[in-house]
Amino acid sequence: MEVTMNEARQNLKIVEQRCKLLQQQQITFITALERTRESAHDKIKPVRTLSQVRHYLDNYCNNSTDKRILTLYLDVCADLAELCVKLESIQNDTRSTKGLIEQTITLLNPTNDLSALRAKYPHDVVNHLSCDEARNFYGGVVSLVPIVLDNIREAISRLEKAQPHVEDLGSKDRLVAIQRNRQQNERKTGSQGVTQNTGVQTNISRGNSALRTVNRRKGYLDASRPAWRPSGRFYTT
């Protein structure tokens, strides 16, 4: 399914609201991690990965408040990963983000080690932790969401600059505009021009490649989302 920049911006706004809700409940989140780590007899090690948070939720979560906040955290991370995949499909037409989207997807991998990750100014999520918590246990896991959000905003900004007059066109017009831009760039670099047919076929081929990329990521997105979902309006602002 083809994604436009307008859709990506709308998805970002929705995810931003949920990230704001999560940030407002950081103390609840840390308390939930404390309790589940204690139940798991795992209080010596830091929280390193999203898989670890998922493990606590699935096996050592004993009250509804802890389940709610841990589920919200993992759902937000899965939503951010899904948005990155959509941006990756847009990026196939213009490689303007220089690996930023790929790096962000790596950060959101369930087994990626977050222990050394630290959000810096203007973010203050680490400052809300005690020195011991920030240094040894939760600095990485609370830094992940704000860092990923910054990366996604920057990626969208770069994509918009690369295709400012293409994003609001219809699907067919957008293909023609992209193909025209490519031909102009090829002329500037001394490359041979390509016909409109070839340009359209290239874009369709790249669209198929983007679909394959989405399918490859699907297993990760499913694995990131907790199977348990509490009742009530826990995901709205």
Mean pLDDT of 160-181: 60
10 vs 215, residue with greater confidence? 10
**Predicted confidence band at 186 (pLDDT cuts at 50, 70, 90)?**
low
How far apart, in whole angstroms, are the C-alpha atoms of residue 155 and residue 161? Answer: 10
Rounded to two decimals, what is the model's pTM? 0.69
* Per-residue CA distances from 232 to 17, 74, 109, 146 (Å): 17, 17, 28, 26
How far apart, in whole angstroms, are the C-alpha atoms of residue 192 and residue 186? Answer: 7
Among the ranges given (36-45, 91-100, 195-204), the one the predictor scored with the smallest mean pLDDT: 195-204
| pLDDT at residue 235, rounded to an integer | 38
Mean pLDDT of 167-177: 55
- pLDDT averaged over the chain? 79
* Per-residue CA distances from 19 to 4, 24, 44, 102, 237 (Å): 22, 9, 28, 21, 10
Reference 122, options 15, 235, 23; nearest CA is 23
pLDDT digits (tens, 9 = 90+) for 132-165: 888 889 999 999 999 999 999 999 988 888 765 4
8 Å CB contact between 143 and 125: yes
Q: Give the DSSP letter string of 217-233.
A: HHHHHHHHS-S---SSS
- Residue 42 carries which DSSP code? -
128 pLDDT higher than 60: yes
60 vs 196, residue with greater confidence? 60
Among the ranges given (94-103, 122-131, 146-155, 212-221), the one the predictor scored with the smallest mean pLDDT: 212-221
Q: Where do we find the tokens 């589920």?
A: 71
pLDDT digits (tens, 9 = 90+) for 14-52: 999 999 999 999 999 999 999 999 999 998 989 999 999
Q: Where do we find the tokens 């959509």?
A: 86
1 pLDDT higher than 50: no
Contacts 24+ apart (CB under 8 A), 173-178: 174/4, 175/199, 175/200, 175/203, 175/204, 176/200, 178/93, 178/94, 178/203
